[in-house]
Amino acid sequence: MAGKAEKENRPEEANIFHKKEKIMQDSALARKKTEEMLSLQNEYDNMKKDERTGHRIGMIIVISASALLFFAISSVVLFRRRANRTRRQITEIRKETDKYQRELENAERTSRGDKKEIERLKKKLEQGEARLSAILDRGKDLYDSVKLDGNVSRWSKDDFEAVVEYLRAKMPDEVRMIEETHTKLTAYATFFLLLSATGMDAADTARIMGISQGAVRTMRHRLKKKENTATSSYKAKM
């Protein structure tokens, strides 16, 4: 339009058209710059959003890993506290009875020993011995039941521990050798190995443990790997 006005020698109209074109160009340029700025702002906002999302994910991972570590440590601590509870109980009873025995002997050696104190100590000794006998008797009853025709399918962890402690009192050398030549045995595995020490063959062991003879061979092989090689070699030479 401005060019046509100039050709027709209409300078004022041409000037007006030039101004309008300039305004339209400036407006288009402004819109373009605004769109570019909005695009950049959008990209920036998305980037910050991604950063926040990544940060949240990172925090979730850290918290989850910490929780898993806490539960793992708690499980190990709990397992150690519960490990061979029967044996710890027997050890505590024997410590108590040894203490009362020494105190009783000291009281009886004193010519002016307090009779009431002597009777109290004797009663404490009897109570300790009764508690110890109860544990060992329970182990004996369980062991005798499987020797006849029973099995361990309904035994609890405490049952296995009670039987192992009974056999420890009955055959201490065999139990000590098994514990010295193997590492980190459970009461279940210790009892399994003690069956051979008591003269049980694979068939008897399978019946008692409630597994097949093939499973007995597999378990023996696995427990063989847990042997302390140096100690086993030394025992063999002896």
* pLDDT, tens digit (0-9, with 9 covering 90-100), for 49-88: 777 776 777 667 767 666 566 554 554 444 445 546 777 8
Decide if 182 contacts 220 (C-beta within 8 A).
Answer: no
- Distances, alpha carbon 218 to alpha carbons 34, 160, 207, 214, 223, in Å: 77, 20, 15, 6, 9
Residue 201 has a pLDDT of: 93
Alpha carbon distance, N-terminus to C-terminus of the chain: 118
CA distance 141 to 134: 10
**pTM listed for this prediction:** 0.56
Q: What is the pLDDT of residues 125-146, one digit of tens each?
A: 899 889 988 989 999 999 999 9
Please determine, for residue 194, whether its predicted confidence score (pLDDT) is greater than 60.
yes
Residue 236 has a pLDDT of: 45
Chain CA centroid to CA 148, Å: 37
